[in-house]
């Protein structure tokens, strides 16, 4: 590979020959290693001035020219540059024939910032999940211990209230776990769907009736037009509509309106729009609401609802759009493909 092509790579590259001396390096490797002069012909052990936290060197620890004759690579490891910066180092060991001596060692050096960012994201994920699980678990433990220790002192109404609260917290835990599983399936592309002709109006009526029963202080209105059946998994449709309506109730204000009609932009889709009378979602935040664990400043929730909505709708070939409601508030529209289109 020409040197100018190697210099165009974002990762550092160091290649050594059968004698353990450097054949070529690219600009990124020289920059990382803090070397400006020509490295050709220098020993690999001198060029790769990498160490671990115990002061061991990369070449001495991995012995690329020794070891089993079947070895073909050295897996990615974390090492420190002379200035203390963390880099990810991997190597390929090339042999002229199977089981023969190593003829060439190709080493790659990659910045460890991406790995550090991923580690932070994973830590944030664990912390968020732990927080969401702790809250209902605390309630369950408290009431169960109270029932066990004070059963004789509690009357039937108090027992019923405690058990009702425990059941509600258990349902919340089950739903959170189901959401986490859905997120994992969406992320890995393992989401299973069983699409068939569905009546979006009928499914939405059931959802609205259920949410009305739970949110008696809010007015939820359903407006429908005549629409054809959609091609979708009814369980996933119910999940999407439930998340949209509950999100409007939780974070919005005033009345919530659910409208079902043919999509004005494409007649081969049916649109369901959920609006509220709150402050709306600022335009600069609309791209972030579909990310995991995004929550508005008002209200609670796991922050997974709209992420799952977006993933499920797109998996069906539809779209999700957030706009301003005329007169104030947010308007969220999800489109579903018409059956047989």
Give the C-alpha separation, 251 to 247, whole Å: 6
Q: Are 128 and 110 in contact (CB under 8 A)?
A: no
Q: What is the pLDDT of residue 279?
A: 76
**Ordered domains of the chain (ranges, CATH):** 3-111 (3.30.450.20), 116-188 (1.10.287.130), 196-337 (3.30.565.10)
Q: Are 47 and 33 in contact (CB under 8 A)?
A: yes
175 exposed, middle or buried (CB, 10 Å; 0-12, 13-18, 19+)? middle
The pTM score is 0.59
Strand-pair category, 320-324 with 330-337: antiparallel
Q: Are 44 and 59 in contact (CB under 8 A)?
A: yes
Listing from the earlier edge strand, what are the strands of the sheet with 330-337? Answer: 220-224, 256-262, 269-275, 330-337, 320-324
3-state secondary structure the chain: CCHHHHHCCCCEEEEECCCCEEEEECHHHHHHHCCCCCCCCCEHHHHCCCECCCCCEHHHHHCCCCCCCCCCEEEEEEEECCCCCEEEEEEEEEECCCCCCEEEEEEEEEECHHHHHHHHHHHHHHHHHHHHHHHHHHHHHHHHHHHHHCHHHCCHHHHHHHHHHHHHHHHHHHHHHHHHHHHHHHHHCCCCCCCEEECHHHHHHHHHHHHHHHCCCCCEEEEECCCCCEEECHHHHHHHHHHHHHHHHHHCCCCEEEEEEECCCCCCEEEEEEECCCCCCCHHHCCCCCCCCCCCCCCCCCCCHHHHHHHHHHHCCCCEEEEECCCCCEEEEEEEEECCC
Distance of CA 278 to the CA centre of its chain: 28
Give the C-alpha separation, 52 to 83, whole Å: 12
Q: Are 4 and 28 in contact (CB under 8 A)?
A: no
Tens digit of pLDDT at every position of the chain (341 positions): 555 788 888 889 999 999 999 999 998 888 888 887 877 899 999 888 888 888 889 999 999 998 888 889 999 888 888 888 888 899 999 998 888 899 999 999 988 776 666 667 667 667 767 777 787 888 888 889 989 998 989 898 998 999 988 888 888 888 788 888 888 888 777 888 888 999 999 999 999 998 888 777 788 999 999 999 999 999 999 999 998 998 888 877 788 999 999 998 888 999 999 998 877 777 777 777 777 766 665 555 567 778 889 999 999 999 999 888 877 788 999 999 999 87
Whose tokens are 């609802």? That residue is: 305
How many CB atoms sit inside 10 A of residue 263's CB? 19
């Amino acid at each position: 590979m020409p040197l100018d092509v190697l210099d165009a790579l974002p990762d550092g590259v160091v290649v050594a020959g059968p004698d353990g001396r450097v054949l070529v390096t690219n600009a990124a490797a020289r920059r990382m290693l803090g070397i400006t002069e020509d490295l050709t012909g220098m020993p690999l052990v001198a060029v790769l001035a990498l160490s671990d936290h115990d002061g061991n060197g990369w070449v001495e620890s991995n012995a690329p020219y020794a070891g089993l004759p079947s070895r073909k690579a050295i897996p990615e490891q974390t090492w420190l540059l002379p200035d203390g910066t963390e880099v990810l180092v991997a190597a390929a060991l090339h042999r002229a024939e199977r089981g023969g001596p190593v003829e060439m060692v190709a080493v790659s050096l990659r910045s460890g910032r991406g790995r550090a960012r991923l580690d932070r994201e994973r830590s944030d994920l664990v912390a968020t999940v732990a927080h969401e699980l702790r809250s209902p678990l605390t309630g369950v433990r408290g009431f169960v211990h109270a029932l066990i220790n004070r059963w004789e002192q509690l009357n039937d109404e108090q027992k019923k209230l405690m058990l009702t609260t425990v059941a509600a917290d258990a349902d919340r835990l089950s739903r959170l776990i189901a959401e986490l599983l859905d997120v994992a399936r969406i992320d890995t592309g393992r989401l299973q769907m069983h699409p068939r002709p569905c009546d979006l109006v009928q499914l939405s009526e059931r959802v609205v009736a259920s949410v009305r029963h739970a949110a008696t202080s809010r007015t939820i209105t359903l407006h429908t037009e005549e629409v054809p059946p959609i091609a979708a998994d009814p369980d996933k449709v119910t999940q999407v509509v439930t998340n949209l309506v509950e999100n409007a109730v939780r974070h919005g204000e005033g009345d919530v309106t659910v409208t079902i009609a043919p999509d004005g932009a494409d007649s081969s889709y049916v649109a369901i729009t959920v609006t509220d009378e709150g402050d709306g979602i600022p335009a600069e935040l609309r791209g972030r609401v579909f990310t995991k664990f995004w929550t508005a400043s008002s209200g609670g929730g796991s922050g997974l609802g709209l992420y799952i909505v977006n993933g499920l709708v797109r998996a069906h070939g539809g779209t999700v759009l957030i706009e301003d409601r005329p007169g104030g508030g947010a308007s969220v529209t999800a489109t579903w493909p018409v059956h047989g289109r």
